[in-house]
Amino acid sequence: MVICRARRHGSWVLTDLRPGDHLWHRGLRFAWKKINDLEGYWTWPDVQELWPDKVMGRTEVVSVKAIPHKDYSAHFELELSYHPPGKPAVLKETKSISVSAPDKNGNYQIDWQGVFTAGKEDALLDRTPILGEEDGKKWGGYAGMQFRVSHRTNLAGWTILTSEGVDIKNTIEQKEGLELAHGKGARWLNLTLDFSDGKTAGVTIFGHPNNLRHPAPWHVTSMPNELIHTPLYASPYNLEAGRKLKLQHRIVVHPGRVDKSMLESQWRDFAR
C-alpha cells in the first residue's frame, strides 16, 4: 500500500489524503483487502488501533528508494511485506513508480508496477463478497488501484468516461448512472472533476493488457468519494506458493477535459 497525492501541476489537488471518514485512504494507492481470509491489508498499523480486539493483516513497507530529478520527474522503488502480526510474509511485493515531468500544459503520467510473490504457501487474494454471494454487500468487490477523490466541498460536478463507451455526468449531489460502469470491465477509466471555482482537471487510469483478468472491472458505487480498478471484483484469486503476479497501471493527470480518441491513443502507447 503506497501513498500518492495526485494533482494538476501548480494547481488543484485531485485526491483526498486521510479523509475523516476513512483515515486509511491515502490519495492514489494500491491495496489488497484480504489475504488467506485475514482482513486488514487495506489499512495501516496506526489506524488498526480503531479495532483493538481484531487480528488484522499488516502491510509493511520494508524499504524505499526515491530518485528525484530537477525537471520534477521522479522514480521510486519499494519493497513491501504482507503478513499476519508477528509472522512471516504470505506475500511480498516489489514496486516501482515512475512519475514523468509535467509538460507545458500541466499533463503528467505515473507508471505504477507491482510484482507480487507468494510465500511458502498459496496466497488467496480476496475481497468482501458482492451482492448475489453469501453475505454479499453492495459495496463488496473492492481490492486494487484506488483513487480517493478530492473532498466534495471542492467540487461542483464529475464525469466518468470509459473505454467501453460509458459516459456518466453528474453534479456533486448526484449519483446517477453508476450501474453502467460498476462491476464492468474497461481498459481505462477517465474521471474529470469540475471544481467549485470553475476550473476542470482529471485523471485517467489505464490497465495493462497483461494484467490479471484484463480488462478488470471497476468499483464506482462510492462515487463521488472513490473509484477502484479491481481484478478481484467477481471472484478471489489464488496465487500459488512461490509464483509471481505482475500488475501494471498508468495514471495520466490532465487539466481541462479530454476526448476518447486521445485516451485510446494513450492506451495503445501504454499497451505496447
**DSSP string spanning 241-264?**
TT-EEEEEEEEEEEES---HHHHH
Distance CA 128, CA 234 (A): 10
Lowest model confidence (mean pLDDT) among 10-14, 15-19, 36-40: 15-19
**Of 156, 166, 144, whose CA–CA distance to 226 is shortest?**
144
CA geometry: angle at 77 spanning 74 and 81, to 5°? Answer: 145
d(CA 199, CA 106): 14
Q: Where are the alpha helices (DSSP H) in the chain?
A: 45-48, 260-271
Q: Give the C-alpha separation, 136 to 150, whole Å.
A: 28
* Residues paired with 96 in a beta bridge: 77, 113
pLDDT band at residue 225, thresholds of 50, 70 and 90? confident
Contact 248, 210 (CB under 8 A): yes
Residue-level pLDDT at 13: 76
Buried b / exposed e over 154-177, threshold 16 CB at 10 Å, is bbbbbbbbbbeebebebebeeeee
∠ CA 263-222-167, nearest 5°, is 35
pLDDT band at 224 (very low <50, low <70, confident <90, very high): confident
**Is pLDDT above 70 for 7?**
no
Q: What is the pLDDT of residue 152?
A: 67
pTM of the model: 0.90
C-alpha cell at 1: 500500500
Whether the predicted pLDDT of 121 surpasses 70: yes
CATH number of 28-271: 2.70.98
How far apart are the C-alpha atoms of 174 and 71, rounded to whole Å? 39
Answer whether 128's CB lies under 8 Å from 33's CB. yes
Q: What was the pLDDT predicted at 21?
A: 59
Q: Which amino acid is at 110?
A: I
pLDDT band at 22 (very low <50, low <70, confident <90, very high): low
Of 129 and 22, the one with more pLDDT: 129
Q: What are phi and psi of 47, to 5 degrees?
A: -80, -30
CA–CA separation, 261 and 267 (whole Å)? 10
Distance CA 10, CA 189 (A): 24
Q: In this predicted structure, what is the pLDDT of residue 215?
A: 98
